[in-house]
Amino acid sequence: MSTLLDVRDLTVRFAMPRKGLFGPRPWLEAVRKVSFSLEKGHALGIVGESGSGKTTTAMAAIRLTEAAGGQVLFEGDDLLSLSDEQMRAHRRDVQLIFQDPYSSLNPRARVADIVREPLDLMDIGTPDDRRARVEELFKLVGLRPDQLNLFPHQFSGGQRQRISIARALTTNPKLLVCDEPVSALDVAIQAQILNLLAKLKSELGLSYLFISHDLGVVRHVCDDVAVMYLGQIVEHASRTALFESPQHPYTQALLSAAPSLARRKSKGYVRPLKISGDPPSPINPPPGCAFAERCPRARDICRKTPPVLEDRGPGRVACHVPGPADA
C-alpha cells in the first residue's frame, strides 16, 4: 500500500473584522496543525460538528483555500509550495463532489456538455475521445446514454448527483473530495449513491476524502475516520476501531448521539453520554484541551495543557484521559 496524500501540520487562518478603527485584527484559526495521511484506494472520513473545520481542512489540502502553514504531500510533491503552473498539472488528479446537485450543475447546459467540460477546459483528448469518454462514464454511474442531451432539471436529485460524479471522473482523478455528497438527498437515494461511490472506489482504485456530519454515512464508505473538534483532529482510527472502541470522550458523545448506529453495533455498545454547551470560539481557543469545558472526564491538566494526537492502541487520540466510555 502506498500513500497518496500526507498532510502535515496544516493550518488555516481567516482574518476577522477589527473591532473599532485601530484595534488589532483578530484571526480565526479554522484549522490548527492538522496532520493525517490517506493511502491509495482508501477513503478517509472527516466528521465533526458544524464549524469544526472539516471543509476548510479538505479545501486547504487541495489548495482551494490558502493555508497559513504546513505541508501537503501529494505523491511526494508538496502542493503548498508548487507554483500555479505546477499546480495546474495536479488539477486533473483531484476532483470534487459537492453537497447540492441542484445548484452545482449549470441549468442551461445539456448534461453531455456538463460532464465533458473538464476535458474541454484541460484540452484532454480529441472531440471523439471526449464524446466516447462521456458516454462510458454515463453508463458507469448508472445513467443511460440516450439521456445525454437532456438538461439537469429533467433528472431526479439522485440522478443529478450521478451526473456530478460522472463529471468528477472525466479526468481520471486519483482523489475525490466528497463534501456532504448525500446530505441533500432522500434516505433511500442516499444508499444508492453511497453504493455507487463504494463500487467506484473498488473498481477504479480511487481515494476519497469524505466529509460528513453523519456517522452512518461515513461508516458505509470509509476505511478510516478522523474526528475534528475546533479545528483539530481529536481522534483518528480505522472505521472498526472508531465505531467499536472510541477512545476520545468527544467521539463517544458523537456516537451516542446517533443511537440507531450504536444499537446496530455488534459489541462495545456506547452508553449515552450527554455533552452540554457549545464549542469555544475559534478566535480565542482555550489554552488546554478545546473540549475540556464540555467533557465529563476533564481534569486540571485538561484545562491547562493541550493534549497531543498520539498513538493509543489501534488509533491516534488527543486526550489526557482516553479510554472506553464507561472508564
Ligand X SMILES: Nc1ncnc2c1ncn2[C@@H]1O[C@H](COP(=O)(O)OP(=O)(O)OP(=O)(O)O)[C@@H](O)[C@H]1O
Provide the binding-site residues for ligand X, judged by CB under 6 A.
14, 28, 30, 48, 50-56, 213, 282
- 303 CB-near residues (< 8 Å, 6+ apart): 286, 287, 288, 289, 292, 293
CB of 324 to ligand X, least distance (A): 26
**Is the Cβ of residue 48 or residue 152 nearer to ligand X in the bound state?**
48
**Is the Cβ of residue 249 or residue 282 nearer to ligand X in the bound state?**
282
Q: Find out whether 8 and 73 touch, Cβ atoms under 8 Å.
A: yes
**Is the Cβ of residue 74 or residue 229 nearer to ligand X in the bound state?**
229
CB of 76 to ligand X, least distance (A): 27
Per-residue cell: 322: 482516553
**Is the Cβ of residue 46 or residue 270 nearer to ligand X in the bound state?**
46
CB of 264 to ligand X, least distance (A): 24
The CA-atom distances, in angstroms, between 245 and each of 37, 137, 139, 248 are 21, 39, 40, 9
CB of 253 to ligand X, least distance (A): 16
CB of 213 to ligand X, least distance (A): 5
**Is the Cβ of residue 16 or residue 132 nearer to ligand X in the bound state?**
16
CB of 14 to ligand X, least distance (A): 3
**Is the Cβ of residue 7 or residue 325 nearer to ligand X in the bound state?**
7
**Is the Cβ of residue 27 or residue 102 nearer to ligand X in the bound state?**
27
**Is the Cβ of residue 50 or residue 126 nearer to ligand X in the bound state?**
50
CB of 290 to ligand X, least distance (A): 12
Q: CA 69, CA 100: separation in Å to the nearest integer?
A: 30
Per-residue cell: 223: 476505511
Tell me, letter by letter, the H, E, C secondary structure of the chain. CCEEEEEEEEEEEEECCCCCCCCCCCEEEEEEEEEEEEECCCEEEEECCCCCCHHHHHHHHCCCCCCCEEEEEECCEEHHHCCHHHHHHHHCCEEEECCCCCCCCCCCCCHHHHHHHHHHHCCCCCHHHHHHHHHHHHHHCCCCHHHCCCCHHHCCHHHHHHHHHHHHHCCCCCEEEEECCCCCCCHHHHHHHHHHHHHHHHHHCCEEEEECCCHHHHHHHCCEEEEEECCEEEEEEEHHHHHHCCCCHHHHHHHHCCHHHHHHCCCCCCCCCCCCCCCCCCCCCCCCCCCHHHCCCCCHHHHHCCCCCEEECCEEECCCCCCCCCC
CB of 221 to ligand X, least distance (A): 17
**Is the Cβ of residue 13 or residue 220 nearer to ligand X in the bound state?**
13
CB of 160 to ligand X, least distance (A): 20
